[in-house]
Amino acid sequence: MTTIWVSTRKGLLGFDDEGTLKETHFLGDPVVNCLPDPRDGRLYASLNLGHFGPKLRVREAGQAEWKELTTPQFPENEQDKASLVQIWTLVAGHPDRPGHLYAGCIPAGFFESTDGGNTWNLCTSLWEDARRKEWFGGGYDQAGIHSILVHPSNPNHLTIGISCGGVWISQDGGKTFEAAGKGLLATFMPPERQEDPNIQDPHCVSICHDYPEVVWVQHHCGVFRSTDGGRNFKTCAFEPYQFGFAVQAHPKDPNQAWFIPATKDECRVPVNRHLVVLHTGDGGKTYQLTDRGLPNSPSFDLVYRHGLAADSNGKRLVFGSTTGGLWFSSDGGHQWQNFSSHLPPIYAVTFAN
Amino acid sequence: MPSVHFAPIFQRHLPVQSLEPQGRDLSECLYALFQTYPSLKHYLLDDQNRIRQHVAVFINNQALKSRTNWNIPLNDNDQIYIMQALSGG
């Protein structure tokens, strides 16, 4: 049975793929994201309690109770006096590495756990890299890591996205990272710095599971695609639909990806207040817009970077908006079905089988 | 010994109850609390051991002024209130 987990401002909601709300957890508490771990059936939830800070909870497979886990923690008394603001993304390690988890955080620390979230280690080489001092916040006061992608056939190959700090690649399982993302273009920067990989704002990074050398980026300044694992990118001419937060690569077809565009960049509502899903099937050369099943009336739905997801076949998709709309497609995004228009603001959606 | 009281919101997350921890000053009292309730520490303190921005601590009717200086002498009949600051809601 499939569960669609919806992380919201007021709790974690579990829908079936017919749109029935089956489970509600942490009612009233902000849930930033969740991770249904396909390796062991555990369900992790990252909360950000307004008063008491970020929290991490886990529910064992088949159990009803949640247990509190330790959150990643920044070193005491270091120069930055950093403190965890949010676990922005939580990702399962490679299937060959049970218990390995990765956390991308605000501020922009990359943490690894090898014991299912009981303990965490900060990647100090990235944290202490002098280039980090040039990163800045994108949507939050401090820079953060929102995308962590594990190469399907190489457990040591990780790709991360930082707003605003670019795309970085690790070849050693997250011990060290190198700056990548050549070709990304930050037009909000002074001309001399617009191509600097270290100051890019990739809102979301997504890789094609079956062709992991294909990497898509929904960037602050447009959509970009790489065919060499994120080292070099080329722009996709999607005007006037260049801005947005979410991107979902098709898991099997390297030429397909979905986006939920918005008006750039002070306005941040759907273009012409008309909510559409943008799909490309030719590697970003052209695009098609779909609004079948989406609102006919003016819409203010913005979809955050973790608010769009596909299942492992690329047939079923789901997205959720800041104004509490949740839509589902069972045909690759051609036709959409509204599951609800009355949910709390949605931060993230994901499929679990 | 001083008494410590928690706002009801804590019960949503932790099984804390009012108690009278050993301590001659606020710092000793807080660390005695963390001995009794280990999970409480990260609800009250951030990674740098500062009282979280949206947590409020009162000693009797006076709000704690500093998030880091807890060397405040306590009397046996002092009442410590730990609550959520409305700014964080």
What would the DSSP string read from start to end of A39-107?
A: TT--EEEEEEETTTEEEEEEE-TT----EEEPPP-PPTT-TT-----EEEEEEE--TTSTT-EEEEEES
pLDDT for A53-81, tens place per residue? 999 999 999 999 999 999 999 999 778 89
What mean pLDDT do residues A89-104 have?
Answer: 97
* Chain B residues with CB-CB distance to A120 below 8 A: none
- Residue type (1 letter), A135: W
Phi, psi of A71 (to 5 degrees): -90, 155
What mean pLDDT do residues A9-16 have?
Answer: 98
What mean pLDDT do residues A204-215 have?
Answer: 98
pLDDT for A275-309, tens place per residue? 999 999 999 999 999 999 999 999 999 999 999 99
Whether the CB-CB separation of A317 and A260 falls below 8 Å is answered with no
Instruction: Give the whole-angstrom CA distance, residue A249 versus residue A217.
Output: 9
Provide, rounded to the nearest whole percent, the portion of chain A with pLDDT above 70. 100
Token code pair at residue A62: 């088949």
Nearest-neighbour CA in chain A from B15: distance (Å) = 13
Q: Which of residues 24-83 of A touch B (CB under 8 A)?
A: 28-29, 49-53, 55, 68, 71, 73-77, 81-83
Residue of B nearest to A85 (CA): B46
Helix (H) or strand (E) holding A225: strand A222-226
Residue of A nearest to B38 (CA): A70
Instruction: Name the pLDDT band for B89 (thresholds 50, 70, 90).
Output: low
Instruction: Give the whole-angstrom CA distance, residue A337 versus residue A316.
Output: 11
Nearest-neighbour CA in chain A from B67: distance (Å) = 14
B88: pLDDT strictly greater than 90 = no
Whether the CB-CB separation of A146 and A137 falls below 8 Å is answered with no
* pTM > 0.90: yes or no: yes
Instruction: Give the whole-angstrom CA distance, residue A348 versus residue A6.
Output: 6
ipTM attached to this prediction: 0.92
pLDDT for B32-65, tens place per residue? 999 999 999 999 999 999 999 999 999 999 999 9
pLDDT value for B77: 94
Whether the CB-CB separation of A147 and A91 falls below 8 Å is answered with no
A37: pLDDT strictly greater than 90 = yes
Q: Which fold has domain B3-88?
A: Ubiquitin-like (UB roll) (3.10.20)
In chain B, where are the structural domains located? 3-88
* Chain B residues with CB-CB distance to A82 below 8 A: 47-48
Q: Could you check whether the bond before residue A30 is cis, i.e. omega within 30 degrees of 0? A: no
Instruction: Give the whole-angstrom CA distance, residue A227 versus residue A197.
Output: 17
